[in-house]
Amino acid sequence: MDLFGLLHLDELSHGLANLSMFPFFDMAHYIVSILALREQPGALEVSRVSPLACWFSSMLFCFGGAVLSAVMLAEPAVAPLSNSTGVLLASITWYLVFYCPMDLVYSCAALLPLRLVLSGMKEVTRTWKVLGGVAQAHGKYKDSLLVMIAIGWAKGAGGGLISNFEQLVRGVWKPETNELLKMSYPTKITLIGAVLFALQQTHYLPLKTHHLMLVYTAFTVVNKSRMMLTGSSASPFTVVELAIYKTLFAGHSPYAALTGEVQKARLDQGAANGSTAAAGSRGLGENGATGKNTPVSPVKAQRGSLKAKKESENGDTTNCKKIN
Amino acid sequence: MDLFGLLHLDELSHGLANLSMFPFFDMAHYIVSILALREQPGALEVSRVSPLACWFSSMLFCFGGAVLSAVMLAEPAVAPLSNSTGVLLASITWYLVFYCPMDLVYSCAALLPLRLVLSGMKEVTRTWKVLGGVAQAHGKYKDSLLVMIAIGWAKGAGGGLISNFEQLVRGVWKPETNELLKMSYPTKITLIGAVLFALQQTHYLPLKTHHLMLVYTAFTVVNKSRMMLTGSSASPFTVVELAIYKTLFAGHSPYAALTGEVQKARLDQGAANGSTAAAGSRGLGENGATGKNTPVSPVKAQRGSLKAKKESENGDTTNCKKIN
Amino acid sequence: MDLFGLLHLDELSHGLANLSMFPFFDMAHYIVSILALREQPGALEVSRVSPLACWFSSMLFCFGGAVLSAVMLAEPAVAPLSNSTGVLLASITWYLVFYCPMDLVYSCAALLPLRLVLSGMKEVTRTWKVLGGVAQAHGKYKDSLLVMIAIGWAKGAGGGLISNFEQLVRGVWKPETNELLKMSYPTKITLIGAVLFALQQTHYLPLKTHHLMLVYTAFTVVNKSRMMLTGSSASPFTVVELAIYKTLFAGHSPYAALTGEVQKARLDQGAANGSTAAAGSRGLGENGATGKNTPVSPVKAQRGSLKAKKESENGDTTNCKKIN
């Protein structure tokens, strides 16, 4: 692309592409991931009751992508454990975040300026992980775009995609929600990245790898910083998503009325996410507010509004109908 | 077998064995599978809320057997995705069944005559899948009958066997039931097929492969058609099953009384299945009526009848005892 | 170690190391495992409703370690099925324990003297399994202590670690508990064994393999016999565990108050286990009493004591807040 030469970005992109993730960026990834785990409801209690379950959960947050992609490619799921330095760094981080005297490490890392820098660095590692996954799949399945996207996505957003099973380690089970039913921002941006890198690797996208790395990294870092600073998660894709949704999936079906409601719910949901995502959680943290996007039948939805006030005092997903 | 020569079925069986599943039979399998998904309770709502979760669920219905057998044999679980043509065909089917304007495709495909033909063709693919699984396992584990049966079964009835996890993708979790606890007709017929083909491959069953293919295919197609036409699922195995059950598993145990009740329940269940199976669902659709076969202790069962009326208003599995 | 020579234990340890597990020790492992399954709540009912689910559950109890370690190392999960003799022995055991006329086999095997001998023999197989797992991982991942520990642990205590999924086969789902959140004695002793053998294999522990085998086997057998005979499970590690916990995980955190409560709960729990473990269950049997160790927030815990009497009549984990 001449544009890159024109803007003198060629050297910058080469510099970025040669950047080593180890140890600083990896460290930032571990810190931000384990902070996100600590902010899950109930995680602190688990850390006191069973340090081992807490440690295992932390490892799934840090290496979930590696584990998931290994399972998908029939490679040993324990392989991430053989990366001794990585596991050691992640374990030290886990220990300091959860058990540091006076809670010093958590208090410091949770300060907005530091967290902003760490989150930005974590976004950089996403590019490397997605590209690594796509390249690995490209080596095994030459011409299968779908496999490349799947592995790139799994490697970049594994922690989120296996969140149901990560929660199970901590004794939490929320079957009514998962990252496929309601994608969080990090999962979405990783999917887009996986598609872009897969297209680039198969030469459908006429860009050089390091150029795409620069563009994608810049986008994710800037967007993440904006979201954390403004506290609004007005996702840059909402408009595109809705356009695609209306064109492809709304149709003239007998469920058009329902579809309209769903779209409205999605918009509401998008707005609601704004405040929660700003808390800096990796998207896993949004599970707390999933009552809204659980698939409900239209009939139930109508009755639901009548019962909403009563049920709001209940606060969990079991339907305990009180008939006094 | 001279019988085949006598009946001039030798050529027919050769013709059948050389039949290519691609594209028409595969297509029928995709259509019938995705129709069955669409008829699951809540599936339509999921298709509006999250097309991606719906697509992934559809792929598990279509390629569940391939995924399950790959996991069991430690082969890449993403391999089915690398079959681009298959995934493309299944995806087009998924789109048309769920989002076609005016719901034309679903309305047509759900018509009894067309559905009868498609279901018959789908049954033909079962033979190929079971045989493929058995042969693959035979290549890896020469003399292990059990592995051959397991892989053949997994490949032919994978969608049903992993239904708990397929439902999880759609935010549904029904731990109290699975295909091992209460086998549906398709899972049962596939298991029988896997046993027969495994015995045939290891020469315990003195039949040629193409002859067995003809006999098994004819049996499954005729039986499926009969069940769809008559609307009764008087399973041809009920008598044999009960005989085996009474001989082997009833025993003179102190639980004989309980066993009697269970047998009665199994018979009732068989009769009840008659009406639901006629709807043409692949057996996954029968999950809705599983309250009956959930294992309950005899004591609970007795108390249960007293409480049944009250609990029927509750409608879910949590026991919210109200003490006012 | 000269000590071994001094005590004339060298020959004994050589003799032990050359002991063949097949068929007697394997058989004892199958019997004790399937007895433990039979003593699970609801297992007998499942055995009447679905012999196949019961058989599959039994195989997971007997070969869970092999399956789990195979999955972790990306080896075929069906491989244990290809061990025809083992599966046949386990299946015969399963049949006799669950369906023997007059319940003769269960009645005999459950007698304390016989059960004591069988449990001791089962503990011997643990040594072999842990060492086998560690050695297998050592062959693949030369210098990764963590992988060796993980595989050794998985192979020795697989049935317990996958208990959530084993229960799912029987239609039982208890997400609020697992072996990581609350380790049972067998899981704990296996973890210690895996650590010891991993240290020995990497020469950090200056012991010969057969000497460590003797020491570890003697410890597990004696300890298991003591626990079964005295009916108290005063774990020999409680003191060490509490010391480690207080030093490393209590800290000066703002949650010190909570931590104190948790420690107290752990002690209470230890005492409570005493009576249940004596029943000879493999630790899986303790799931019934997990209401106590479910992670609860400190606020809930305080309210909990007020509500405890009412909720004790409820008996399950759903929080049905009644606001009348």
The pLDDT-based confidence of A4 (bands split at 50, 70, 90) is: confident
Across B87-96, B265-274, B306-315, least confident range:
B306-315
Q: Hey, what long-range contacts does A308-314 have (CB within 8 A, 24 or more apart)?
A: A313/C321, A313/C323, A314/C321
Q: How close C104 comes to chain B (CA, Å)?
A: 9
Cβ contact B258:C45 at 8 Å: yes
Q: What pLDDT shows up at residue B280?
A: 37
| Contact criterion met (CB < 8 Å) for C323 and A320 | no
Task: Pick B51's closest partner by Cβ from A143, A173, A249.
Answer: A249
Q: Hey, what long-range contacts does A233-238 have (CB within 8 A, 24 or more apart)?
A: A233/A185, A233/A270, A233/A273, A233/A274, A233/A275, A233/A276, A233/A277, A233/A278, A234/A270, A234/A274, A235/A185, A235/A188, A235/A270, A235/A273, A237/A188, A237/A192, A238/A267, A238/A270
Residue C21 burial by Cβ neighbours in a 10 Å radius (0-12, 13-18, 19+):
middle
> Tokens representing B51?
């097309």
CB distance from A249 to chain B under 8 Å? yes
- pLDDT at residue C279 greater than cutoff 50: no
* Averaged pLDDT for residues B122-146: 95
Q: What pLDDT shows up at residue A282?
A: 37
pLDDT tens digits for range B147-184? 999 999 999 999 999 999 999 999 999 999 999 999 99
| Contact criterion met (CB < 8 Å) for B99 and A293 | no
Cα distance between residue B101 and residue B98, in whole Å: 9
CB distance from B307 to chain A under 8 Å? no
Cβ contact A156:A65 at 8 Å: yes
Cα distance between residue C305 and residue C324, in whole Å: 20
Going by C-alpha positions, the residue among C187, B26, B267, B228 that lies closest to residue A53 is: C187
Q: How close A263 comes to chain B (CA, Å)?
A: 8
CB distance from C88 to chain B under 8 Å? no
Q: What pLDDT shows up at residue C232?
A: 77
Going by C-alpha positions, the residue among B110, C179, C150 that lies closest to residue A171 is: C179
Task: Pick C259's closest partner by Cβ from A48, A172, A313.
Answer: A48
Q: What pLDDT shows up at residue A251?
A: 62
| Contact criterion met (CB < 8 Å) for C170 and B182 | no
Across A240-254, A255-269, B94-108, least confident range:
A255-269
- pLDDT at residue A86 greater than cutoff 80: yes
What residue in C sits closest to A42 (Cα-Cα)?
Answer: C297
Q: What pLDDT shows up at residue C2?
A: 63
| Contact criterion met (CB < 8 Å) for A42 and C318 | no
pLDDT tens digits for range C97-123? 999 988 999 999 999 999 999 999 999
Q: How close C260 comes to chain B (CA, Å)?
A: 32
pLDDT tens digits for range B6-27? 678 888 999 999 999 999 999 9
pLDDT tens digits for range C30-67? 999 999 999 999 999 999 999 999 999 999 999 999 99
Question: What is the residue whose two structure tokens read 């080896």?
Answer: C75
Going by C-alpha positions, the residue among A262, A263, A261, A285 that lies closest to residue A275 is: A285
Q: Which of residues 16-45 of C touch B (CB under 8 A)?
A: 42, 44-45
- pLDDT at residue C270 greater than cutoff 80: no
- pLDDT at residue A280 greater than cutoff 70: no
* Averaged pLDDT for residues B130-152: 94
The string of DSSP codes covering B103-164 is GHHHHHHTSHHHHHHHHHHHHHHHHHHHHHHHHHHHHHSTT-HHHHHHHHHHHHHHHHHTHH
pLDDT tens digits for range B63-91? 999 999 999 999 999 999 999 999 999 99
Residues of A in contact with B320 (CB under 8 A): 318, 320-321
Q: What pLDDT shows up at residue C251?
A: 62
pLDDT tens digits for range C83-103? 999 999 999 999 999 999 889
Across A12-26, B280-294, C118-132, least confident range:
B280-294
The pLDDT-based confidence of A279 (bands split at 50, 70, 90) is: very low
CB distance from B70 to chain A under 8 Å? yes
CB distance from B247 to chain C under 8 Å? no
- Best mutation target among B253, B322, B324 (most C Cβ atoms within 10 Å) is B253
CB pairs A-B closer than 8 Å:
115
| Contact criterion met (CB < 8 Å) for A255 and B48 | yes
- pLDDT at residue B141 greater than cutoff 80: yes
Going by C-alpha positions, the residue among A265, A70, A287, A315 that lies closest to residue A179 is: A287
Q: What pLDDT shows up at residue A108?
A: 94
The string of DSSP codes covering C97-162 is HHH-GGGHHHHHHTSHHHHHHHHHHHHHHHHHHHHHHHHHHHHHSTT-HHHHHHHHHHHHHHHHHT
Between residues C296 and B26, the one the model is more confident about: B26
| Contact criterion met (CB < 8 Å) for C251 and A99 | yes
Question: Rounded to two decimals, what is the model's pTM?
Answer: 0.81
Task: Pick A262's closest partner by Cβ from B48, B81, B316.
Answer: B48
Task: Give the rounded percent of residues in chain C with a pLDDT score beyond 90.
Answer: 69
Q: Which of B229-233, B250-254, C297-301 has the highest mean pLDDT?
A: B229-233
Q: Which of A161-170, A245-254, C228-237 has the highest mean pLDDT?
A: A161-170
Across A184-193, B10-19, C293-302, least confident range:
C293-302
Q: What pLDDT shows up at residue A288?
A: 35
- Best mutation target among B153, B181, B311 (most C Cβ atoms within 10 Å) is B181
What residue in C sits closest to B252 (Cα-Cα)?
Answer: C101
The pLDDT-based confidence of B2 (bands split at 50, 70, 90) is: low
Across A64-78, A206-220, A246-260, B103-117, least confident range:
A246-260
* Averaged pLDDT for residues C291-303: 38
Cα pseudo-dihedral C177, C179, C180, C181, rounded to 10 = 30
CB distance from B314 to chain C under 8 Å? no
* Averaged pLDDT for residues B221-238: 88
> Tokens representing C161?
């670690």
ipTM of model: 0.80
Q: In this structure, what DSSP letter does residue B42 have?
A: T
pLDDT tens digits for range A108-146? 999 999 999 999 999 999 999 999 999 999 999 988 999
CB distance from A251 to chain B under 8 Å? yes
- Best mutation target among C249, C264, C292, C300 (most A Cβ atoms within 10 Å) is C249
- pLDDT at residue A283 greater than cutoff 60: no
Q: What pLDDT shows up at residue C233?
A: 73
Q: What pLDDT shows up at residue B296?
A: 37
pLDDT tens digits for range A29-83? 999 999 999 999 999 999 999 999 999 999 999 999 999 999 999 999 999 999 9
Q: What pLDDT shows up at residue C4?
A: 72
CB distance from C209 to chain A under 8 Å? no
Rg, chain B, Cα only: 21
- pLDDT at residue C21 greater than cutoff 70: yes
- Best mutation target among C192, C253, C261 (most A Cβ atoms within 10 Å) is C253
- pLDDT at residue A182 greater than cutoff 80: yes
- pLDDT at residue B290 greater than cutoff 80: no
Q: How close B240 comes to chain C (CA, Å)?
A: 15
Q: What pLDDT shows up at residue A303?
A: 38
Q: How close C307 comes to chain B (CA, Å)?
A: 13
Q: What pLDDT shows up at residue B233?
A: 73
* Averaged pLDDT for residues C70-92: 95
- pLDDT at residue C309 greater than cutoff 60: no
Q: What pLDDT shows up at residue A9?
A: 85
| Contact criterion met (CB < 8 Å) for C258 and A48 | yes
Task: Pick A144's closest partner by Cβ from B50, B82, B173.
Answer: B82
pLDDT tens digits for range C160-182? 999 999 999 999 999 999 999 99
Average pLDDT, chain A: 81
What residue in C sits closest to A75 (Cα-Cα)?
Answer: C74
CB distance from C288 to chain B under 8 Å? no
